[in-house]
């Protein structure tokens, strides 16, 4: 094979080789780039976590708003007021048994 034939063969292969390299470059960035499929999935996961956090915070806010409503003067709940005083001030009689919401007995099955 002569040098001229070799040069001609390389020129014929140069176009498709460059095309394949461009296709490989863009395919890689479609999958792994800043706005690629992998980044999109990570963003969807982050969005789902944010929605779950929002829902949790909304539920917590509703509970707190309900407790605040119970402490308003027009609808004061004496039990809630007493519970808060006992918890915050440490008040109580030695013979009192106080069970706060969320406290589980030590020997009770889960």
Mind listing the pLDDT tens digit for each residue in 52-95?
Answer: 999 999 999 999 998 888 778 787 777 777 777 777 887 777 77
Please give the share of the chain, as a percent, with pLDDT higher than 70: 88
Residue 103, pLDDT > 60, answer no
Residue 99, pLDDT > 90, answer no
Q: Is 48 left (phi over 0), alpha (psi -120 to 50) or beta?
A: alpha
d(CA 23, CA 14): 14
């Amino acid at each position: 094979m002569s040098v001229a034939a070799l040069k001609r063969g390389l020129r014929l292969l140069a176009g498709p080789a460059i095309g394949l390299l461009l296709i490989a470059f863009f395919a890689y960035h479609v999958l792994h780039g800043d706005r690629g499929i992998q980044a999109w999935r990570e963003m969807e996961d982050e969005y789902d976590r944010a929605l779950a956090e929002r829902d949790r915070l909304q539920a917590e806010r509703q509970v707190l708003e309900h407790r605040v409503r119970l402490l308003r003067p027009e609808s004061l709940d004496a039990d809630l007021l007493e519970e808060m005083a006992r918890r915050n001030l440490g008040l109580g009689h030695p013979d009192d048994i106080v069970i706060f919401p969320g406290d589980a007995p030590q020997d009770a099955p889960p």
